[in-house]
Copies of this chain bind each other. A is one copy, B any other.
Amino acid sequence: MSSTINPNDMLPRYFQLVTILRAKIEAGEWQPHAAIPSERQLEVLYSVSRTTVRQAVGLLIRQGLVYQLHGKGTYVSPRKLQKGLVELTSFSEDMLQRGLQPGQRILELAEVEAPEQVRQHLELSPDIRTVIRLERVRTGDGQPIGLQTSYLNLPAGATLTREQLEERGSLYAILQEKYNINLAAADETLEVTVATPREALLLEVPAGNPLLLSERILWTNERRAIEFVKILYRGDRYRYTVRLTR
């Protein structure tokens, strides 16, 4: 990894600068709460304009690696804040981050008439009558973690097969590669519930055990609601984390 900016590189300069600065922070070259070089110093150090410096630093701020104090300087965040949380992730990515091997057991994959609740969440127009329903038991290191039910409003003509799912594992990877659909945002609500007999059986817990119910609406880069997904998590095996900012 180079530590200078290469103007001919395919990557934008501000992005190269982000990479360089992040590396220095993660290597401990600049300690938490220590000041990093000022914007005008970075200008000279890396032969870029202040515009570029500010764009790079702005990104680092949004990622939680540094913070700025007006009139004082730019400082390295404490380690706990350097870890990127929040990120919109798939179940698979989520498990991998937690150091567990993601797995799944597909219970159903079918085109069904859209329930009213789903119609509303996905803002379906009246001419769209059906959605794809996908029900899976999700596992981490082979142990059941959650019961996931997805309702997908795929673009016309798009299909989804059991084989694709079993091969790639991640639904979002398929959407991205085959249909060029990128996820941009999600709204999620969490609440507490208790296991019905069927849920208890699938999750391998006693009926009546407390569960964490997550309901999520997923939006594409064009801000179309594409998926409504419920996940029932085992209360004893799952913990949800977020970072809030102001």
Taking Cβ atoms with an 8 Å cutoff, the residues of A that contact B are 33, 64, 67, 69, 75, 77-78, 80-81, 85-88, 123, 182-194, 210-212, 217, 219, 221-225, 235, 238-246
CB-defined A-B contacts under 8 Å, sample of 19? A67-B223, A69-B221, A78-B225, A80-B187, A81-B187, A85-B187, A88-B244, A88-B245, A182-B246, A185-B243, A188-B243, A189-B242, A190-B240, A190-B241, A190-B242, A191-B212, A191-B239, A242-B242, A242-B244
Q: Are B78 and A246 in contact (CB under 8 A)?
A: no
In Å, the complex CA distance between A168 and B77 comes to: 31
Q: Are B33 and A223 in contact (CB under 8 A)?
A: yes
Contacts A219-B81, A245-B184, A246-B88; A240 near B67 (Cβ below 8 A): no
Chain B residues contacting A88 (CB-CB under 8 Å) are 244-246
Chain B residues contacting A183 (CB-CB under 8 Å) are 246
Partner of A123, one of B80, B217, B222: B80
In Å, the complex CA distance between A221 and B223 comes to: 32
Chain B residues contacting A241 (CB-CB under 8 Å) are 187-190
Partner of A67, one of B64, B86, B184, B190: B184
Known pairs A85-B187, A183-B246, A187-B244 / 9 extra A-B pairs, C-beta < 8 Å: A78-B224, A87-B244, A182-B246, A185-B243, A187-B242, A189-B239, A191-B238, A192-B211, A192-B212
Chain B residues contacting A245 (CB-CB under 8 Å) are 86, 88, 184-186
For this chain, the copies found in one complex come to 2
Which of A87, A189, A223, A225: most chain B CB closer than 10 A?
A: A223
In Å, the complex CA distance between A243 and B244 comes to: 10
Q: Closest B residue to A88 by CB, please name it.
A: B244
A213 to chain B, nearest CB (A): 9
Contacts A184-B246, A245-B184, A246-B87; A223 near B190 (Cβ below 8 A): no
Chain B residues contacting A211 (CB-CB under 8 Å) are 192
A108 to chain B, nearest CB (A): 26
Q: Are B188 and A81 in contact (CB under 8 A)?
A: no
In Å, the complex CA distance between A81 and B184 comes to: 11
Q: Closest B residue to A58 by CB, please name it.
A: B58
A52 to chain B, nearest CB (A): 13
Q: Closest B residue to A240 by CB, please name it.
A: B190
Q: Are A243 and B187 in contact (CB under 8 A)?
A: yes
In Å, the complex CA distance between A244 and B185 comes to: 6
